[in-house]
Chain A
């Protein structure tokens, strides 16, 4: 809370979260609903190109999944010792991205960070899509994916229950509850906007569709009050949930016996890492949505600046976490830990480890400079770099430990195959596809929250002037 307050403190009156020309409710509504209700007013060429590319990638993913089911997980680069590979790294990466939407919506809501209003909707959608994709990987990675439901404690003739001590079971529940929560939270936030769309829609189909989705929202004070309470309550639930989710993901590794994994720092370190990569993805999407739907009046440079500050602080925490790992490995004096540390810096994956440090720790230091923070292209580029860096971090967590654990006789490397890459890029395609469809069906920015932001901003202006 204090951190969030600190980063927004010096935003002067001139740098509000909306531009003055958009500060009336009708303009806001029109700006946001234009892509949905006045499609002709925008050029959809880029959207179609994006859609085609992401469709191709999605089909690639489909093909690689089918091939995976036909042949078995042996089509990947996993081997007898490095038994985990891209699938687990992709999972952790996607679930990390899936973190930021809830963080922005809940944590910033509770922290009364009003600027979140223009970003939380698509961030929540991002969360939902990313978490869904993340949820696929643990199933795809199974040797016998058809039996994934054995993780569910259902009554069965074998009278066998899941094994509750396994971090993977915790994980299963964490993802499941997170996805369910994300859907509810996202949808609850969407209801007033759906009603707005229903009311503004001209086509009969759109009216019916949005009307059905709006669940009879009439905008009464009672509705608003109950909505507010529900939204806040969900936000209160969401914050611990998102923290626990990523802590549990961290425990997938930490609740083990392996050097480089068995570290108490993992849960918080994973939460911060998730927030980090999630914010980076939000920045990327914000830049694209802003540019694609002419939302410059609602998503301003100030948004990018404040998110850059959050990424900067996260990068410092990540740097600290890395340094802590090195220190404890050395200070703990365990042979395997020290040997692993040496391997990280000098082994076969050392160039990747260097890239990780550059992407996650060094490059984001550019955000110390206001000029960089306020340059949307630069912020976008750095956010992409951070996402790459975070993916490398995830894969190295898996690779380093498994490639270099206790017995030197079992030290082996992981060599990715074409199917590893296809599934990774295919999942990016699926994500893009879902996002592109989302922005054509639902308002990418929350109208009612932006309206209340404008209410506040104009109020603030009045008091200052």
Chain B
């Protein structure tokens, strides 16, 4: 990909604010392009308001040609490098940056959905105080008064609250502000915290360290309530490494994953052996392992099955010392983390340590508590909250809403006018990461420059600009701030080329944190856990909307949670034992009571959950999220405590007799008997014995009366490795973004309608989940084609089964006759005049991929194998008078996949890599015996069980 000079620039006086909703029509889009192009021509520093007529097309800008820019997006403060595609000045798609160590060219659902949040019509558009809109100068005037007062008292009343900050520029600015106001304080609170991890490192090594597990080098891993494969800033890297370590054909070289957890996580779903165990007892497993490795601890009692499990794992870990590792999750207390460090040290585990990227020393809870008590003591006069939404997502015991409201001057810079803004005096619109200059560090310390792709849509500012104002700089530009920070930092002789190269790469070379060598880990005192007498509520970030900050993102709200397939809401997950005891079925509303309060919520009965455990995710029940996220699900933050935010003990639940419909996109999970072949799984030994030979193989076709179809061109095919699919959903959202797939909203989901072109079927076999992404199979003998009366479903020469939207009259016979049920019908104009909530807003239209038709009401649609990408590759190839090369076409789902589970290629090319995949022994065609001859085929999941735990999956 060629990248034009990255000299987009923001800053200067913003255009007058338009009260009406932001509108991007053709003219506006052209105007953006023209002005950004003009800026590209202009050198830095000059005002940006010059508008160049479009007839003077700047060099390097061709209408209709996409441009890609490297940038970075933050999740919980940590960067994932991305490459954002813009067309005529509109960013339309996020892909991973292959050079970035936290993305490897792949994405996660949050990165994919950033496009939608950019165009979200609910975004805050102008500064606001209670009761009305204000201008930035009005705010700056008030802030100036405040600054003058604070300067007089050395900033004694000034407090800044942020999320986790990894931006070197912002950290530098914060330091500058703190230097200017010596009495001022900076607090930081990230709702999905790492206090336990940090505490564990402190206990084990006496200093704060971040552990970076090298899963790629591990062969035996025990996850103690840890979820490295689940969502989070490290998800892409860890799941890529996990799958990379599970490629070898022999058991010795194939990572074996043991998981002990109270409720299913994606890590548990991908485990070879999994033990459901109540939260309080998990530390006992760690103690048994430690004792087995010679620690001076007494192995505490465990239930029989758990004890057998723990001993087998210990033996396995010991046998693979040097390649074995234990991980603890954020729900476990610090001492368990410390114990794991000790175990890892004893095992010579492949774990690296770095100094924390997040330099704030205090814990997240601690930090917020300090702020709250300072407010209570009346010490805080000026409170600046940069991003975040602590009023919503902080544990309820702090009563932060009242506290913040009592501060004389408070300002909240955020994308949305949210719960926290409502408690502050001022709400200030924050620029979206795709509109702002900044920089970010990844989990391992690698820094990236955040480049804007579009000028701010609204009258918004960045955190850099606001801090610069505190620092005395009026009308500072983020670009200058970031650039000058790196000018000092880089120390390059030729800074301009360094800068240019860095922007092109999206990664600052050699910026990863240096590995720290740690000494012996000290053995912490861990009191054995006791079998719980009461229920515990264990919490976690939500796999769809994280900590609630994505609550107004409709793609994410409608993204089915990997294990439950729930959309538009959360539920209390109860174990089967509890459900049987209380006579609960899915959707029963229960009253949950704990020391912090009560809550009424619907339950979902979950398999594989420890008996005394209730699980739920945070992030729902937002009140000021926007038209999409308001009043969806229930909010658990009120029940959380600062010192143990993820576990609430002593919980009781009781039936209320009420019922609430849970919105699920899949209702049947169990596969039994012959139906297991719908998602076959084999152990390495079974595969070696040829147990996969009876599967319907690709190309192994039942006879037909029809003559073979002549093929004289490309023959596209896809192979999906269900063994590599971790169920993360990145492909689902990527497909939605690439193909303009609309959302339908909760009411439509309730009726059983959805529009995802790609879904992930999750099945339970022997209580173990597995995932099969199901796009269109592009059957060679497609059942949908002969039944369409108007030939709207047709086959093209390259083997694609295509839907001709403008020919479709909507008989829906194709979907009725599709054995895979992959077709989706526009029962309403989901993208065409009958959109959910504010999804029909003008700004949303700017998000559409112009290469893909937006479908009208009454037509059928489905996966096209990203035919627009194939066409693009074909155009490029034909220009050069060659065939499309193997690997040149990358579908959106394939590009997004963190574990490269999806492969795409041309069967007519004998050299194509896809042939080898189709010939693998575990290759199979889903429902291949129907004679549909699917072009999408699968590789069965492989497990590497430990013979010592003969009962598979125990």
Binding site for B on A (CB under 8 A): 71-74, 77-84, 138, 141-145, 147-148, 150-151, 158, 160-163, 165-169, 172, 255-258, 335, 339, 402, 405-415
Contacts and interface: CB of A to CB of B under 8 A. Distances in A.
Interface string B746-788: 0010011111000101110000000000100000000100111
B791 A73 contact: no
A15 to B, nearest CB: 49
Contacts of A72: 826-829, 834, 857-858
A138 B858 CA distance: 14
A258 B789 CA distance: 18
Contact of A162 (B790, B816, B857): B790
Top 10 closest pairs, chain A to chain B, by CB: A143-B810, A143-B858, A79-B752, A74-B827, A83-B812, A410-B821, A409-B761, A168-B789, A163-B791, A144-B858
B761 A142 contact: no
B819 A405 contact: yes
A352 B532 CA distance: 47
A73 B811 contact: no
A172 B827 contact: no
B495 interface: no
B675 A335 contact: yes
A461 B752 CA distance: 66
Contacts of A409: 666, 668, 759, 761-763, 774
A316 B77 CA distance: 72
Given A72-B827, A168-B811, A258-B819, A163 B786 contact: yes
Contacts of B825: 80, 83, 143
Contact of A81 (B821, B826, B932): B821
Contacts of A167: 787, 813
B401 to A, nearest CB: 40
A81 B807 contact: no
Nearest to B673: A335
Nearest to B787: A166
Interface residues of B, number: 55
A162 B763 CA distance: 40
Contacts of B856: 144
Nearest to A170: B789
Interface in B726-761: 748, 751-755, 759, 761
Contact of A143 (B763, B808, B816, B930): B808
B667 A80 contact: no
A162 B787 CA distance: 11
Interface in B787-808: 787-791, 807-808
A66 B807 CA distance: 23
20 contacts: A72-B826, A72-B857, A80-B755, A80-B824, A81-B752, A84-B812, A142-B810, A143-B808, A148-B809, A150-B809, A151-B790, A151-B809, A158-B807, A167-B787, A255-B786, A257-B932, A405-B819, A406-B927, A408-B675, A411-B667
B949 interface: no
Contact of B788 (A143, A166, A410): A166
B884 interface: no
Contacts of B115: none
Nearest to A338: B674
B860 interface: yes
B816 A83 contact: yes
Given A143-B809, A143-B812, A408-B763, A257 B930 contact: yes
Interface of B: 666-671, 674-675, 678, 748, 751-755, 759, 761-763, 774, 783, 786-791, 807-813, 815-817, 819-821, 824-829, 834, 856-860, 927, 930, 932
A158 B806 CA distance: 11
A411 B668 contact: yes
Nearest to B790: A150
Contact of A79 (B751, B828, B857): B751
A78 B811 CA distance: 12
Q: DSSP majority for the A interface?
A: loop
Nearest to B821: A410
Contact of A406 (B820, B824, B829): B820
Contact of B828 (A71, A82, A148): A71
Nearest to B858: A143
Given A160-B791, A257-B930, A402-B816, A143 B857 contact: yes
Contact of A168 (B666, B787, B857, B930): B787
Contacts of B834: 71-72, 74
Best-buried of A83, A161, A166, A256 by chain B (most CB within 10 Å): A83
A165 B791 CA distance: 9
A147 B927 CA distance: 34
A143 B859 contact: yes
Given A79-B752, A408-B675, A256 B787 contact: yes
Contacts of B774: 407, 409
B790 A73 contact: no
B832 to A, nearest CB: 10
B819 A144 contact: no
Contacts of B821: 80-81, 405-407, 410
B789 A169 contact: yes
Contacts of A335: 674-675
A255 B755 CA distance: 27
B678 A408 contact: yes
Contacts of B763: 408-409
Contact of A144 (B671, B809, B813, B827): B809
A402 B821 CA distance: 10
Given A79-B752, A143-B826, A258-B819, 19 more contacts: A72-B826, A72-B827, A72-B857, A73-B858, A77-B751, A80-B752, A80-B753, A143-B860, A144-B856, A150-B790, A165-B786, A166-B788, A167-B813, A335-B675, A406-B678, A406-B820, A407-B678, A411-B667, A414-B752
A151 B783 CA distance: 19
Contact of B819 (A407, A408, A412): A407
Contacts of A71: 828, 834
Nearest to A85: B812
Contacts of B759: 409
A142 B811 contact: yes
A162 B828 CA distance: 25
Nearest to A256: B817
- Among B754, B827, B856, B932, chain A packs the most CB atoms within 10 A around the CB of B827
Contacts of A150: 789-790, 807, 809
B815 A80 contact: yes
A163 B678 contact: no
Nearest to A335: B674
B752 A82 contact: yes
A83 B816 CA distance: 6
Q: Which of A71, A148, A410, A412 has the most CB of B within 10 A?
A: A410
Nearest to B678: A407
A78 B827 contact: yes
Given A83-B825, A141-B811, A407-B761, A258 B816 contact: yes
A72 B675 CA distance: 37
Contacts of A84: 812, 816
A151 B816 contact: no
B817 A258 contact: yes
B763 to A, nearest CB: 7
B333 to A, nearest CB: 38
Contacts of B860: 143
A395 B902 CA distance: 40
A81 B834 CA distance: 21
A142 B930 CA distance: 28
A143 B811 CA distance: 6
Nearest to A81: B821
A143 B858 CA distance: 4
Contacts of B674: 335
A71 B828 CA distance: 7
Nearest to A148: B809
Contact of A163 (B789, B824, B826): B789
Contacts of A408: 668-671, 675, 678, 763
A147 to B, nearest CB: 5
A169 to B, nearest CB: 5
B789 A74 contact: no
